[in-house]
Amino acid sequence: MSTPEIDPAVFDNETVKKAITQYLDEIGPLQIVFEKLIHHAGTRTTTTYGDIAPLLGLPSSGNHMGSVIGTHLWHIGEWCKTRGWPPITSLVVKANERVPGPGFWKMMNQEGISLGNQKARTAWYHDQVFSYFAIPRL
């Protein structure tokens, strides 16, 4: 996700309004997904693509759902990487295999690893996320 570019040569109220609307349209769903991930990190739990879909007004399955959620997760993952945070997006897993989808592995430069290795790496990433985002115990 990037801040909208506004060309000073065509700067007018309509251009600014369109750019701001586009930016808010992008950030709104990201905020919803990020807050859900923070909750799951703090409670040491995972979630699925199907659990996130209704929050974004999407069907609970299908290629479109996976693509939209994957795009949001990519932006959140990149944002976290720039801050040196562990990959909170690893908490979103496929319901049947309990590992993140292919976009996650691409982001982590681990495309093509076996399901067994994905499961081991997923557990390691989850430990990192749970430790980093742990809710302090009283």
The answer to whether 126 touches 46, Cβ cutoff 8 Å, is: yes
Q: Nearest 5°: CA angle at 14, between 11 and 16?
A: 60
The DSSP result for 110-128, as a single string, is -TT--HHHHHHHHHHHHHH
The answer to whether 100 touches 122, Cβ cutoff 8 Å, is: yes
Parent domain of 113: 13-132
pLDDT exceeds cutoff 60 at 8: no
Q: Confidence band (pLDDT; 50, 70, 90) for 14?
A: low
Let me know if residue 19 belongs to a domain.
Answer: yes
Segment (H or E) for 19: helix 13-42
Cβ neighbours of residue 30 closer than 8 Å, sequence gap 6 or more: 1, 72, 75, 76
Q: Confidence band (pLDDT; 50, 70, 90) for 111?
A: confident
Let me know if residue 4 belongs to a domain.
Answer: no
Which carries the bigger pLDDT value, residue 62 or residue 135? 62
pTM score: 0.76
The DSSP result for 30-59, as a single string, is HHHHHHHHHHHHHTT--EEHHHHGGGGT--
Tell me the pLDDT tens digit for each residue of 32-63: 888 899 999 999 999 999 999 988 888 888 88
Let me know if residue 8 belongs to a domain.
Answer: no
Let me know if residue 102 belongs to a domain.
Answer: yes
**Count of structural domains within the chain:** 1
